[in-house]
Structure 1
Amino acid sequence: MAATAVRSRPHLVLETVIVLGICLGKSAVMSILNIINRLTYQVPLSEQTSTMNSAVTPDRPWLDLMYQLANNLFPFFFAFAAIYLLWRVWPPRGGSVWQAIGLDGRHVGRDIGAGVGVAALILGPALGFYLLARQLGINTTIVMANLGENWWTIPMYCLAAFQNGFLEEVVMIGYLTTRWRQSGWHPAAAIVVSALIRGSYHLYQGFGGFVSNLVFGLLLGWLYHRTKRLWPLVIAHTVIDITAFVGYSLLAGVVSWL
């Protein structure tokens, strides 16, 4: 059994490379190219803007809704593909795959409370660091919400936030750290590499976005290592993004520092 496990380890690492390439690898590469483009552009980084949740056809809200649904629903398949691989190829120990990675419904109240608590602890420092990074000239100005005023705008921001949280935490934490642990990696190495990848696909925001998401990834990786519960991380990420997206849409133009 031990010999079989050793022979299988390279295959698991190769699997993670393929999954990352399909799910978030392109985002990481494009973010690196984006930051190179920004740094070699005539306008300083601090005077550039990064836009999220943009309208595709603002003159036709019904069609824009279809675009937004497609953009925010299809990424769930990436996360479910990673879960499927954990289920079918060398399943982790600890009951079903949902239980093993902490996505079961055994501790709903505790998971929600923990997720909201983590989000509350992170939101203030994250906002402060973003404003500092912008003042230091190492980050762009981020336009968090750029959809038109439609009945579906806020629900779509909430869907986008949940999609971000579910995809990133399932793939970057639940899947990757499980696979790398099965491959013989030290937990600290798995957490650090996962956090570095997370930071890399946020480089389009600037170096502030890289550092803040690196620290965010380290914190979530450590929490997962301690608790083996993924739902609190998904919930925390979702709450943070909802606050950012909806808060920006309501306060942009009202407060000057946004």
Structure 2
Amino acid sequence: MHPDPPSSAHLQPGPPSTSRSGPRASGTGGTPEPTSGPASAPRRRIRAELLIVLGLSLGQSGVYAIVNLAEKLTRGPLAAQTTTLNPVLNDRQYFDLTYQLLNIAFALVPVALVLYLLGGHGVSAFRRLGFTFEKPLRTVGFGVGLAAIIGVGTLGVYAGGRALGITTALVPAALDAYWWTIPVLVLSAVRHAVLEEVIVVGYLFIRLRELGWSTPAIVVSSALLRGSYHLYQGFGPFIGNVLMGLLFGWFYTRTRRVMPLVIAHALIDITGFVGFALIGPAIGIGG
């Protein structure tokens, strides 16, 4: 679940190249959430805030992905092309490590912005989002279960997309083999999980609800946004991530807990990135 095409700035920069109102029961997860945003945030301001946050993060990625897909379609069949998700950023080991870590750190700045915007007035942004480890066994259990469902589904959608010629070949990891390769891939997976689930699910659901959107409309919009920034991989990943977004959105409406989604997403990406890095070279691909 890698959000950006290679040209997106916030994940792959070119190296030298809420009135506090009473809490509301939040579904089965039990995390309280204010029923509305602060009185000082009218709808116009919320709309502007949404555009800014998405323009700095995954909305930007979606635009890049659409353009990147268009460019690939002009080159030839998608089935004949390859997309690399974690490429080398510099041919010298420690500069590559530096760029990789900077890439991960700066990609999380929009998450810090969202936490800042949702916090204050005595309200914890982490609790509003359900981005906490309350009931840890249940939280982790939900995460693992969702990961298993999505993982199997992802393999099926990818295989179907390749067979239909609407998905590029994916190389989840192409980093050189250094002592830091696996830790960086794990950090990259966690980065994607936190960035996507906090913004595309938690933040977006809160703000669109404050704007008066219906729950079905929010779920569908979130899912379509998730799919959009995967279009650079082809149409198969777009479809797969829309389906993932629908499941994750439904889960969030039931629990108001974003942490299980972060765990599930991280497990899926860690399996893909690290598994490919370890096994790929042994079977003659990647590495």
TM-score by length of structure 1 reads 0.91
* 2:134 maps to 1:106: yes
Residue 89 of structure 2 aligns with which residue?
A: 56
Residue 166 of structure 1 aligns with which residue?
A: 194
Residue 69 of structure 1 aligns with which residue?
A: 101
1:148-183 C-alpha deviation (Å, 9 max, x unpaired):
001110111100000000011000011010011011
What secondary structure is seen at the aligned counterpart in 2 of 1:40?
Answer: helix
What secondary structure is seen at the aligned counterpart in 2 of 1:139?
Answer: coil
Residue 26 of structure 1 aligns with which residue?
A: 60
- Which stretch shows the higher mean deviation, 137-146 or 13-22? 13-22
For structure 1, the 5+ residue unaligned runs are none
Q: Is the 8 A contact 2:108 2:195 kept in 1?
A: yes
Deviation, 1:106, is: 2.0
Residue 254 of structure 2 aligns with which residue?
A: 226
Distance (whole Å) between structure 2 residues aligned to residue 7 and residue 198 of structure 1 = 26
Distance (whole Å) between structure 2 residues aligned to residue 6 and residue 75 of structure 1 = 28
Q: Is the 8 A contact 1:9 1:184 kept in 2?
A: no
What secondary structure is seen at the aligned counterpart in 1 of 2:178?
Answer: coil
What secondary structure is seen at the aligned counterpart in 2 of 1:142?
Answer: strand
The residue correspondences of 1:1-150 to structure 2 (distance < 5 A) are 8-41=42-75, 43-58=76-91, 60-88=92-120, 96-150=124-178
Distance (whole Å) between structure 2 residues aligned to residue 203 and residue 256 of structure 1 = 27
TM-score by length of structure 2 reads 0.82
Identity %: 45
For structure 2, the 5+ residue unaligned runs are 1-18, 20-35
Query: Aligned letter for 1:227?
Result: T
1:42-65 C-alpha deviation (Å, 9 max, x unpaired):
x3110000011111123x111111
Deviation, 1:104, is: 2.4
- Which stretch shows the higher mean deviation, 168-177 or 8-17? 8-17
Deviation, 1:96, is: 2.6
Deviation, 1:97, is: 2.4
Distance (whole Å) between structure 2 residues aligned to residue 180 and residue 5 of structure 1 = 15
Distance (whole Å) between structure 1 residues aligned to residue 140 and residue 247 of structure 2 = 18
Deviation, 1:13, is: 2.0
Deviation, 1:25, is: 2.2
Deviation, 1:251, is: 2.2
Deviation, 1:7, is: 8.6
Distance (whole Å) between structure 1 residues aligned to residue 40 and residue 281 of structure 2 = 58
Structure richer in helix, relative to its length: 1
Structure 1 residues 159 and 7, CA, compared in 2 at 3 Å: closer, same or farther? closer
Query: Aligned letter for 1:238?
Result: A
Q: Is the 8 A contact 2:157 2:237 kept in 1?
A: no
Q: Count matched residues.
A: 251
Distance (whole Å) between structure 1 residues aligned to residue 149 and residue 226 of structure 2 = 20
CA RMSD of aligned residues (A): 2.2
Distance (whole Å) between structure 1 residues aligned to residue 169 and residue 148 of structure 2 = 23
Distance (whole Å) between structure 1 residues aligned to residue 167 and residue 285 of structure 2 = 14
Q: Is the 8 A contact 1:101 1:228 kept in 2?
A: yes
Query: Aligned letter for 1:191?
Result: V
Structure 1 residues 113 and 45, CA, compared in 2 at 3 Å: closer, same or farther? same
What secondary structure is seen at the aligned counterpart in 1 of 2:108?
Answer: helix
Residue 216 of structure 2 aligns with which residue?
A: 188
1:99-138 C-alpha deviation (Å, 9 max, x unpaired):
2210123222221121111101211121121011011000
| Divergent runs of 4+, >4 A | 4-7, 253-258
